[in-house]
């Protein structure tokens, strides 16, 4: 039986840079950091010499479910990896979508901070989120993120659900 989502995770090149981006630019809250260089971690990731730095972050104000965190950022100190092809059309590519209340203001602020966007916010004209806005952008490691301003009726529905 599936009980829920524990967290989602991204491998990053520099943990401190990514913590700064996700907390100061996107508004996540850092709740824990740790280093892992032990047999359990090495078995888990499949590298006999693995040494990782990890940060756990949450969306402030959201109820906690099974896990204490929403986002995990992992930096491999050993082995050090390299970025593969980052194009979102490639199989295996993924993205994280975050909901915001004023996508246009957030777009302006992130653009001013040097964040790379695929496009300005787009009107969602079809589907379940019609009436909202969305755009793709990248974090410091070129991980694709999506910013969504849900249509007003979706926000109302989410506030009235138990």
Quick: pLDDT tens for 9-46: 999 999 999 999 999 999 999 999 999 999 999 999 99
CA 25 to chain centroid: 12
pLDDT of res. 159: 60
Which residue, 120, 149, 123, is CA-closest to 137? 120
pLDDT of res. 91: 86
SS percent in the chain: helix, strand, coil, step 5:
25, 30, 50
Every domain of the chain with CATH number 3.10.180.10 lies at: 8-78, 96-160
CB 97 within 8 Å of CB 88: no
Q: What percent of the chain has pLDDT over 70?
A: 96
Q: What does DSSP say about strands 96-99 and 144-149: parallel, antiparallel, or unpaired?
A: parallel
The CATH architecture assigned to 96-160 reads Roll (3.10)
The CATH architecture assigned to 8-78 reads Roll (3.10)
Residue 113 has pLDDT above 70, yes or no: yes
């Amino acid at each position: 039986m599936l009980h829920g989502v524990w967290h989602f995770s991204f491998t990053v090149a520099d943990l401190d840079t990514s913590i700064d981006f996700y907390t100061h630019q996107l508004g996540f809250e850092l709740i824990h950091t740790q280093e892992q260089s032990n047999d359990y971690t090495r078995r888990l990731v499949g590298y006999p010499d693995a040494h990782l730095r990890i940060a756990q972050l949450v969306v402030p104000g959201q109820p906690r479910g099974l896990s204490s965190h929403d986002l995990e950022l992992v930096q491999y100190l050993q082995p050090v990896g390299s970025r593969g092809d980052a194009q979102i059309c490639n199989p295996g590519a993924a993205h994280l979508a975050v909901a915001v209340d004023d996508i246009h203001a957030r777009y302006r602020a992130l653009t001013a901070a040097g964040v790379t966007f695929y496009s300005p916010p787009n009107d969602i004209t079809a589907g379940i989120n019609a009436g909202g806005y969305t755009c793709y952008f990248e974090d410091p490691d070129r991980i694709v993120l999506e910013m969504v301003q849900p249509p007003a009726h979706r926000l109302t529905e989410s506030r009235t659900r138990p």
